[in-house]
């Protein structure tokens, strides 16, 4: 069964490459207007341009998920331009290059950066988009966790902890935002080739 997202406005964080780009491609193919939100400006512009050249409706919006001001500006720019947001995919996260550190070897600064982007960034992006999600008849938020949060994984404690937080936040968000007709779910992908 094909998914129809015609006339839907979708924001995807971390959409410049990898899984985020695949989500953006799928949403565009289903007819959505997509905001490619990412800290990687060159890749983000290229992704948006590629999607638009392929018949999609995509635009790049810069965002640093660790910077509350940047995230607020992203939400204001997209919401102000579109008037409403129908879907938010909280995909942006730090993962590359984190592996290989035992618990006692993880630097506090790296731990804090992973938490700031992977966990706090989900909250900040949701908060920034919420006024415009409330303008949708039935808003949707999809938080991207990881299967590592379900079974644990060695040598990436900070990443696993951040993705476990995403699952917990999803449960709390779903309870709180249901009264606004906003559904909140999480998915936990495993190893994926994109």
Q: Which residue from 16, 17, 19, 31 is spatially nearest to 61, judged by alpha carbons?
A: 16
- Beta-bridge partner residues of 5: none
Residue by residue, DSSP assigns 69-130 as HHHHHHHHHHHHHHS---EEEE-----TT-TT--GGG--HHHHHHHHIIIIIHHHHHHHHHH
**Is 23 noted as a catalytic residue in this protein?**
no
Residue 154 DSSP code: T
Write b or e for each residue in 91-116: b if 16 or more Cβ atoms lie within 10 A of its Cβ, otherwise e: bbbbbeebeebeeeebeeeebeebbb
Catalytic residue among 139, 158, 159, 177: 159
Q: Which residue from 68, 77, 92, 62 is spatially nearest to 9, judged by alpha carbons?
A: 77
Give the integer Cα–Cα distance in Å for 105 and 100.
9
Compute CA distances 62 → 34, 38, 45, 80, 120, whole Å. Answer: 13, 5, 9, 15, 17
Active site residues: 159
């Amino acid at each position: 069964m094909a998914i129809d997202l015609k006339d839907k406005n979708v924001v995807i964080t971390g959409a410049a490459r990898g899984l985020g780009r695949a989500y953006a491609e799928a949403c565009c193919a289903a007819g959505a207007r997509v905001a490619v939100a990412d800290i990687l400006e060159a890749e983000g512009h290229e992704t948006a341009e590629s999607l638009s050249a392929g018949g999609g409706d995509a635009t790049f919006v810069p965002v640093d998920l660790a910077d509350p001001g940047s995230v607020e500006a992203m939400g204001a720019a997209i919401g102000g331009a579109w008037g409403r947001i129908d879907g938010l995919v909280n995909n942006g996260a730090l993962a590359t290059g984190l592996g290989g550190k035992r618990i006692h070897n993880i630097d506090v600064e790296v731990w804090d950066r992973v938490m700031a982007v992977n966990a706090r960034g989900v909250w900040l992006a949701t908060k920034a988009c919420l006024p415009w999600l409330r303008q949708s008849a039935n808003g949707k938020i999809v938080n991207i966790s990881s299967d590592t949060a379900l079974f644990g994984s060695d040598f990436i404690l900070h990443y696993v902890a951040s993705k476990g937080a995403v699952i917990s936040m999803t449960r709390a968000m779903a309870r709180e935002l249901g009264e606004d007709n906003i559904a909140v779910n999480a998915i936990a992908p495993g190893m994926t080739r994109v």
